[in-house]
Amino acid sequence: MDAPRPYNLVAELTYRCPLQCVYCSNPVGWRDVPDALGADLWTQAFHEAAALGVVHVGLTGGEPTLHPQLGEIVAGAAAAGLYVHLVTAGTTLARGGLAALRARGLRSVQVSIQDAQPEASDRIAGARCFDKKLAFAEAVRAEGLPLTLNVVLHRHNLGRVGEIVALARRLGALRLELANAQYDGWAFLNRAALLPTREQIDAAAEVVARAREEAREPEILWVLPDYHRDRPKPCMGGWARRTLVLAPDGRALPCQAAGELPGLEFWRFPEHSLAACWRDAPGMNAFRGEGWMREPCRSCPERARDFGGCRCQAHRLTGDAGATDPACALAPQHGVVLAARAEAERAAPDFVYRGSPRPR
Amino acid sequence: MSAGPAVADAPLPPGEFEARLRRIGDERYHHRHPFNLRMHEGALTREEIRTWVANRYYYQTRIPRKDSLILAKAQDPEFRRAWISRIHDHDGRQPGEGGLELWLALADAVGLDRARVESLADVLPGVRRACDAYVELVSQSDLLTAVASSLTELFAGDIMAVRIAAFEKHYPWVRTEGLRYFRTRTVQAPADAAFGLAFVVSEARTRADQQRCEAALVRKCEILWSLLDAVEAAGVSPRLSPHAQPRLGDADPMVVLPERAVKLTGSAAEILSLCDGVRSALEIAGILRERHPGAPGAWDDAHDFLAAMRRQGVLLPPA
């Protein structure tokens, strides 16, 4: 199969992280994944990615600043001509460290907070960190770097979207990513504790619409809550279509979670060239394009817009990664999403934190 | 408003309705637009004055057509007899007379080539859209709301007086005979507005009618505002955002930004390469038009592309 051109590389430098967010997108088995790539190999990967057409790299994790060679990695990405973007929790780096990264070619920073209120934010992160994060966000602006503020939304913070927008404005964020939680990995373990009600989402969407009218900045991205939308999300803009994920152990993946899908063979860099990992690994081609689709996707006019939704979610909810994403009201197994929605109307149980002993 | 539905549906008393219309003007008429404020402070360059004169001419050419549409909607001969004077005012009774001619005299006075102005070749796409939107608004409206949309004339008399004083004080290089259009309008606009206002106040019989009139006036103010937005943008010298990484030489050129990329198709990369913070949008679009004589849309496309890139944060005004 002809592979499309990837534009974006998600470089997961390490899965280690001081936070324990209850919706972390890292594999539930993250402790077993070694940090296999040093700065030299990352730099080689960046050059190979650039040759494939990649123009932008997001250095992420885990907490990417815990990689001992982050400075060299930033320099390597810049030398490969990539736009170097850092995705961080903002608790590990001081302004001096940030300035050094900027001098080596860092161009923009995304900082995550968990809420607009310190206690609520710390409760989701499983660590006291809110004030540090805000100080770091201010350092990003002070360094003249464009700031994206990222907040994952769920039933405990959707009511404070207005405060979150105000905070983003106060911090001078260029973009605000309001990402309704995607219920895979840790977020799936905590789904009953996180999934909001329809009313919460509608109210927050209204706040977002008003905020967009008030001012052009920050640009607000509202990542759709697929459990409540009757249509699947266009996950990753299509499987292995625009974005290449390189995990800490060198595995090349189509998304942050796909490595946990059973029966799919992905290849490891540098055992294989990055081009081979992208073009030829059987796992990459398993759901590329539309050939894998079944009905109702196969003949659906919306398939070019949502790419059949999320394979990880299909597997999570039906046991079959090739099934129609149950978030879609047209999916035969949409009932499981309806049941989860009904569950959201009831009281929520406690969280399972990502640092906790391996969940059952 | 806390009034119950029966009261809310009743029309406002004429005085209160008129006050509402006037408040719309206070808040939204283009006398508050930054470009007009700068004009009246004496802060515009000759180039900016010329751009405004050449572009506003397009608006002038739409006015008699707009008034003809209103005439065609009127049943009452008395209304038509009154309204047709606007067309006479604008077009004159014979060649060499009227408001359009006076505007061309202004074009002469600011040093523009009259034939070039009449050709409309330098009209900005945003100005064209704004003026066409006005004609379209009137075309789609009933007589009452069409007349209501003309009520920006209520506020025109004052702005003309300010403008004459500003030109005499700040722009002495504009020959004084060029200001006759403004002087004429200080008399015509209030008389026209008085007629239009009386008509709207008496013919808007329900609150719903009044609300449609208010909405039409708001829309008209927005149209005038966007006309000046376009004129203003043409004078700005765009530069690339420091956050943008241009890849203009790539086989598929693009600009990379935090967490996104903008693909550059057609002459987009060529246009961006001209954005040095010194050349104005006007100059850049002029260069594109010269370089691509076979592409009739080059001028419009360049302006629209620059505006789109400014909205997306790829381009910034000069530091």
Domain parsing of chain B, residue ranges: 8-235, 239-316
pLDDT score of A350: 80
Q: How far is B249 from chain A (nearest CA, A)?
A: 13
Inter-chain residue contact B256 with A108, CB threshold 8 Å = no
pLDDT score of A284: 97
Higher model confidence: residue B51 or residue A2? Answer: B51
Angstrom distance (rounded) from CA B317 to CA B295: 27
* Residues in B touching A85 (Cβ below 8 Å): 258-259
Inter-chain residue contact A55 with B257, CB threshold 8 Å = no
* Residues in A touching B258 (Cβ below 8 Å): 83, 85, 107-108, 110, 146, 148, 174-175
Q: Which CATH class is domain B8-235?
A: mainly alpha
Angstrom distance (rounded) from CA A110 to CA A171: 12
Give yes or no for A357 touching B (CB within 8 A): no
pLDDT score of B8: 60
DSSP state of A268: B
Owner of token pair 């430098």:
A13
* Residues in B touching A105 (Cβ below 8 Å): none
Inter-chain residue contact A174 with B256, CB threshold 8 Å = no
pLDDT score of A356: 56
Q: How far is B232 from chain A (nearest CA, A)?
A: 19
Chain A's closest residue to B310, CA to CA, is: A216
* Residues in B touching A7 (Cβ below 8 Å): 261
pTM for the predicted model, two decimal places: 0.87
Which residue among B256, B311, B313 places its CB closest to the CB of A55?
Answer: B256
What percentage of residues in chain A have a pLDDT greater than 70? 98
Which residue among A55, A148, A216 places its CB closest to the CB of B261?
Answer: A55
Judge whether residue A360 has pLDDT over 60.
no
Angstrom distance (rounded) from CA A353 to CA A193: 12
Mutate which of A56, A59, A212, A217 to disrupt the B interface (most B C-beta within 10 Å)?
Answer: A56
Judge whether residue A359 has pLDDT over 50.
no
Task: Say how many domains are in chain A.
Answer: 1
Inter-chain residue contact B243 with A174, CB threshold 8 Å = yes
- Mark A118-156 as b/e (b = at least 16 C-beta within 10 Å): beebbbbbbbebbebbbebbbbbeebebbbbbbbbbbbb
Inter-chain residue contact A56 with B243, CB threshold 8 Å = no
Inter-chain residue contact B256 with A56, CB threshold 8 Å = yes
DSSP codes of every residue in chain B: ----HHHHHSPPPHHHHHHHHHHHHHHHSGGGSHHHHHHHHT---HHHHHHHHHHHHHHHHHHHHHHHHHHHH---HHHHHHHHHHHHHHH-SSTT-SHHHHHHHHHHHTT--HHHHHHTTT--HHHHHHHHHHHHHHHHS-HHHHHHHGGGHHHHHHHHHHHHHHHHHH-TTS-GGGGHHHHHHHHHHHHHHHHHHHHHHHH--SHHHHHHHHHHHHHHHHHHHHHHHHHHHHH---EE-TT-EEETTSSS-EEEETTEEEE--TTHHHHHHT-BSSS-HHHHHHHHHHH-TT-TTHHHHHHHHHHHHHHTTSEE---
**Domain range holding A61?**
1-360
Q: Residue B67, class by beta-carbon neighbours within 10 Å (0-12 exposed, 13-18 middle, 19+ buried)?
A: buried
Which residue among A58, A83, A175 places its CB closest to the CB of B245?
Answer: A83
pLDDT (tens, 9 = 90+) of chain B, 319 residues, equals 444 445 568 999 999 999 999 999 999 999 999 999 999 999 999 999 999 999 999 999 999 999 999 999 999 999 999 999 999 999 999 999 999 999 999 999 999 999 999 999 999 999 999 999 999 999 999 999 999 999 999 998 889 999 999 999 999 999 988 999 999 988 888 888 999 999 999 999 999 999 999 999 999 999 999 999 999 999 999 999 999 999 999 999 999 999 999 999 999 999 999 999 999 999 999 999 999 999 989 999 999 999 999 998 999 988 7
Mutate which of B248, B256, B310 to disrupt the A interface (most A C-beta within 10 Å)?
Answer: B256
Angstrom distance (rounded) from CA A88 to CA A86: 6
pLDDT score of B7: 55
Nearest to A72 by CA among A39, A46, A35: A39
Mutate which of A52, A86, A88, A107 to disrupt the B interface (most B C-beta within 10 Å)?
Answer: A107
CATH number at residue A268: 3.20.20.70
pLDDT score of A344: 84
Chain B's closest residue to A221, CA to CA, is: B259
ipTM of this complex: 0.91
Which secondary structure element, helix H or strand E, spans residue A311, and what is its range?
helix A311-318
Q: Residue A227, class by beta-carbon neighbours within 10 Å (0-12 exposed, 13-18 middle, 19+ buried)?
A: buried
A268: β partners: A251
Model pLDDT for residues A73-126, shown as the tens digit of each residue: 999 999 999 999 999 999 999 889 999 999 999 999 999 999 999 999 998 888
Angstrom distance (rounded) from CA B4 to CA B26: 28
Give yes or no for A148 touching B (CB within 8 A): yes
Q: How far is B253 from chain A (nearest CA, A)?
A: 11
Which residue among B247, B258, B311 places its CB closest to the CB of A55?
Answer: B247
Q: How many CB pairs under 8 A join A and B?
A: 39
Which residue among B245, B258, B261 places its CB closest to the CB of A174?
Answer: B258
Angstrom distance (rounded) from CA A108 to CA B259: 9
Owner of token pair 């409206």:
B141
pLDDT score of B1: 43
Angstrom distance (rounded) from CA A308 to CA A299: 11
With an 8 Å Cβ cutoff, the interface of chain B facing chain A consists of: 242-243, 245, 247, 254, 256-261, 311, 313
CATH number of B239-316: 1.10.10.1150
Give yes or no for A83 touching B (CB within 8 A): yes
Judge whether residue A51 has pLDDT over 80.
yes
